[in-house]
Amino acid sequence: LNIISSCLYACIHAEVQEDRHYSIYGIILVNTFFPEIEGGAPGNYVGRDLAIRLNEETIKDATPNDFLVYHMHQHCDAEVLLFPGLQLHVNAEYYDVHPQNYMQNPEGLLTTNYIPPNENVFVMGAHEDGPRSIRLPYAVMRWWIMVKGNQAEINQEAVDCFFDHSKKPKNTGANFLLYTNSHYIDYREEAALALSKIKPIHVMGKCQGNTSAPPIVHRLQSPQCQPYEEKKRPPSVIVVSKEREERSNNYIAEREFRFVLMMENANSPGYISEKILDAFMAGSIPIYYGTTEVFDIFNKKAFIYY
C-alpha cells in the first residue's frame, strides 16, 4: 500500500434505509494508525476532508493504493468486493457480504465464520484469528473509540467510572430492571418473563417477555418480538413512554434501573457487544448472557451471568 497517495473510501451514508446510520469506528481506526491516508469521519476531524463515499461513480476512480472501510449493516451504492484497494471490514455479528448474510438470514444466525475470498480484504470482529482476520469483540472497539477517539475528552467521565470507584455513575435505582430489545431471541424473552415475576420490569422496544407469541419474521429483517396487546399486557411489564425513549441514549436511560437485562443474540466466541458497556456507564448491574470470554474483559463480580 502506497500510503502517501492513498484516499479513504467508506460507506458513510444511508439514503436507502433511514434506520441504518453510518459508523465511524473503522474510519477513526484508519485515521489513527494511518494518518497519511486522506479522508476522515463525518463531523469528527477538523481540517480533514470527508472520506469518499463509495458508489458506482467513485469506485471507477479508486486505485489499488486506496483504502476502503466497510462497517456491518452499512449500505453501499457499489459492490464492496469490487473495490481494488485494501479493505478493512468491521463485523461484530452479522456479516452483510456473507453469501447468506443478515438480510437474508431469517433465523438470525451469526455469520462470523466467513472471510471473503479476496486477498485484499481484512476482517476485524468476532471472527477467529487468521491470516486476514483478527478477533476483537465489539465491546472492545466501542471502548477504544471512547478512550482514543477524537471525542475522548467528552467521554472522560464515562471512562473514569471504570477505574475510579469514587466516580462511579450515580444510579438512582428507582426501578428494578430495564429490558431493551426488538430482535427476538427465545431465551432472552424467557429470562424477561422470569424476572418480571420477581418485580415489575420496564421495557423499551418490541420485546416484552411475551413468550406465548411467535416471532414476527420478514424476509429483509431479523426476527422481531411480538409485544403484548395493550389490554393483555400483565402489570408486571411496564412500557417506557415513546417520549422518554426518544430523548435518551441507552446508558442515560439505564441510570434509573438497578439492573439491565442484556443477553447477547448468541453465545459465540468473540461475540461481546457494546450492551454491557452501556450498563456499566449507567451504574447499573448487567444481567448478562453470552460467551464466557466476557470474563477476560470485565470483572465477573461486577455483573450477573445468567
Q: Cα–Cα distance between 288 and 280 in angstroms, integer?
A: 12
pLDDT at 25: 76
- Alpha helices by DSSP H, listed for the chain, are 25-33, 138-148, 152-160, 186-196, 242-246, 250-253, 275-281
pLDDT at 45: 53
pLDDT at 64: 94
Coil, helix or strand for 148?
A: helix
What percentage of the chain has pLDDT greater than the value 90? Answer: 45
Is residue 135 within 8 Å of residue 127, measured between CB atoms? yes
Q: Is the pLDDT of residue 85 over 90?
A: yes
The x, y and z cell numbers of residue 212, run together, are 406465548
pLDDT at 199: 97
- CB atoms under 10 Å from CB of 21, counted, come to 12
> What residue has cell string 494518518?
35
pLDDT at 49: 82
Q: Is the pLDDT of residue 211 over 70?
A: yes
Q: Cα–Cα distance between 223 and 229 in angstroms, integer?
A: 18
Q: Looking at per-residue confidence, does 255 or 211 come out higher?
A: 211
What percentage of the chain has pLDDT greater than the value 70? Answer: 80
The x, y and z cell numbers of residue 230, run together, are 395493550
Average pLDDT over residues 51-76: 89
Q: Cα–Cα distance between 80 and 175 in angstroms, integer?
A: 46
Q: Is the pLDDT of residue 18 over 50?
A: no
Q: DSSP assignment, residue 241? A: P
Report the largest interatomic distance among the alpha carbons of the chain, rounded to a whole angstrom: 64
Q: Cα–Cα distance between 200 and 179 in angstroms, integer?
A: 11
DSSP strand E in the chain: where?
Answer: 8-10, 52-53, 67-71, 86-91, 121-125, 133-135, 175-180, 201-204, 216-218, 221-224, 237-239, 257-263, 285-289, 304-305
